[in-house]
Each structure stands twice: as structure tokens, then as C-alpha cells.
């Protein structure tokens, strides 16, 4: 599938170049297999990365149809189908009827799935706390605010960028500053 060229935009500022570099580094560090295995060991959750990503997505917006999950995760529907089957067998998710269309099903966390997501998030937050332990509370608040703002702006750009979508304008956010 060919990708379309980026729209004409001015060259990135040195600050944006540094932000992109830092995000690339943190993404690499946080998605390494060894890091995932360490996080799963701390959380006591023996799941692969795809399963954890799916559980997190369902926890943040449940229940969803498998096709919606695939779209949100940016993967093929067959990947979601296999991962959902794995998570059903392990008791982390269940299928429930779609209230809008009884022929369709949505994926919902079970109590075990909710507990697993909570343990993964807690282990991740504890690891982050160790890494950022020397930061002042005000620095952490500012970083959190700026990260949320950046995510909101990325989401607004992604919606505007999708074919057939009208420009949504800025996404309202409680995290925006000034």
C-alpha cells in the first residue's frame, strides 16, 4: 500500500527534531522484548506484547468490536482475532453481544483481565517512578501536562489526516495549558 507524501510543511525546528529523537529512543527502550519480559515478571502477567496492547485498549474503551480494536491498534483484523482467542482461553476477555446489532459481538474484559491490566499498569508506573525519582513534583506535573497535550495534538492531527474525515480542529483537553 503506497504512502502519500507529507503535505508541504516548513522544516522541523531543532526543538522538534530533539523531541522526535527523544520519543524514538523512549519508544525503542520501552518496547524491547527484554523490557516487556521484565514488566510482565514484575506484574505477574505472562502475556505477550500484542495481548497486553489489546488488553490496555479494551480497558481504556471497552467494549469494542474486533474490527474497531484492529483499527485502534493499527493491525490487521486477523491479528486481533488470534489475540482475542488467546485472551479468551486465558480468561482475560469475553465476547458479549453488541447492543446495537445482536449479530455482532464486542470484546470485554473479565475480572481477571481487569486485574491483569491493573497489575501491568502498576508495574510500569513503579518502574517509571524509579527512573524519575530525582525529579521534583512540579517537573513531573509539567511533563505529564505536556505529554497529554502532545498526545491530544497527535490525535487531532491523525483525525484530520484520515481520508474522508473532516478536519476536527483541536481536541479539547483538560490537560491543555495556557
Q: What's the confidence (pLDDT) of residue 160?
A: 56
Whole-angstrom distance, CA of residue 65 vs CA of residue 104: 8
Judge whether 107 and 62 are in contact, CB under 8 Å. yes
pLDDT of residue 157: 82
Q: What is the pTM of this model?
A: 0.73
Q: Residue 126's pLDDT is what?
A: 92
Cα separations in angstroms, 3 against 6, 7 = 9, 12
In this structure, is the dihedral angle defined by the CA atoms of residues 157, 158, 161 and 164, taken in order, positive or negative?
negative
The torsion of the CA quartet 178, 159, 3, 150, rounded to 10 degrees, works out to 20
What's the pLDDT at 57?
Answer: 94
Which is nearest to 65 in space by CA: 101, 94, 106?
106
- Dist. CA 164–CA 162, nearest whole Å: 6
Question: Residue 84 and residue 95: Cα distance in Å, rounded?
Answer: 9
Cα→Cα distances 1→5, 131, 162, Å: 13, 40, 15
Q: Which pLDDT belongs to residue 2?
A: 64
pLDDT per residue of the chain (178 residues) written in tens, 0 to 9: 566 776 777 898 999 999 999 999 988 888 888 888 989 998 999 999 999 999 999 999 879 999 999 998 889 999 999 999 999 999 999 999 998 888 899 999 999 999 999 999 999 999 899 999 999 999 999 999 999 999 899 888 876 555 544 443 343 444 444 4
Amino acid at each position: 500500500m503506497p504512502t502519500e507524501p507529507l503535505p508541504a510543511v516548513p522544516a522541523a525546528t531543532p526543538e522538534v527534531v530533539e523531541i522526535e529523537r527523544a520519543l524514538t529512543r523512549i519508544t525503542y527502550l520501552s518496547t524491547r522484548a527484554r523490557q516487556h519480559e521484565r514488566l510482565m515478571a514484575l506484574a505477574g502477567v505472562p502475556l505477550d506484547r500484542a495481548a497486553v496492547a489489546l488488553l490496555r485498549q479494551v480497558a481504556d474503551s471497552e467494549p469494542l468490536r474486533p474490527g474497531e480494536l484492529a483499527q485502534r491498534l493499527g493491525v490487521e483484523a486477523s491479528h486481533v482475532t488470534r489475540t482475542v482467542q488467546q485472551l479468551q482461553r486465558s480468561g482475560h476477555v469475553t465476547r458479549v453481544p453488541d447492543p446495537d446489532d445482536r449479530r455482532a459481538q464486542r470484546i470485554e474484559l473479565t475480572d481477571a483481565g481487569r486485574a491483569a491490566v491493573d497489575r501491568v499498569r502498576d508495574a510500569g508506573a513503579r518502574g517509571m517512578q524509579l527512573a524519575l525519582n530525582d525529579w521534583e513534583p512540579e517537573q513531573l506535573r509539567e511533563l505529564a501536562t505536556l505529554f497529554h497535550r502532545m498526545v491530544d495534538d497527535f490525535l487531532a492531527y491523525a483525525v484530520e489526516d484520515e481520508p474522508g474525515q473532516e478536519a476536527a480542529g483541536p481536541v479539547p483537553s483538560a490537560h491543555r495549558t495556557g
